[in-house]
Amino acid sequence: MAHIVLYSNESIEQALRRFKRQVMKEAIMKDIKKSSVYLTPSQKRRLKDAQALKRIRRRLRRSGDTGV
44 and 24 co-located in one domain:
no
1 and 32 co-located in one domain:
yes
| 64 or 22, higher pLDDT | 22
20 and 46 co-located in one domain:
no
Q: Considering the entire predicted model, what is its pTM? A: 0.46
33 and 44 co-located in one domain:
no
Reported as a single tens digit per residue, the pLDDT across 7-42 is 999 999 999 999 999 988 888 888 888 888 888 999
Query: How many domains, in total, are found in the chain?
Result: 2
| Alpha-carbon span 7 to 63, nearest angstrom | 49
Residue 40 is given by DSSP the state -
- Domain span at residue 6? 1-37
| Alpha-carbon span 4 to 11, nearest angstrom | 13
31 and 56 co-located in one domain:
no
Q: What is the per-residue pLDDT for 34? A: 82
Q: What are phi and psi of 23, to 5 degrees?
A: -65, -45
1 and 33 co-located in one domain:
yes
25 and 13 co-located in one domain:
yes
Residue 8 is given by DSSP the state T
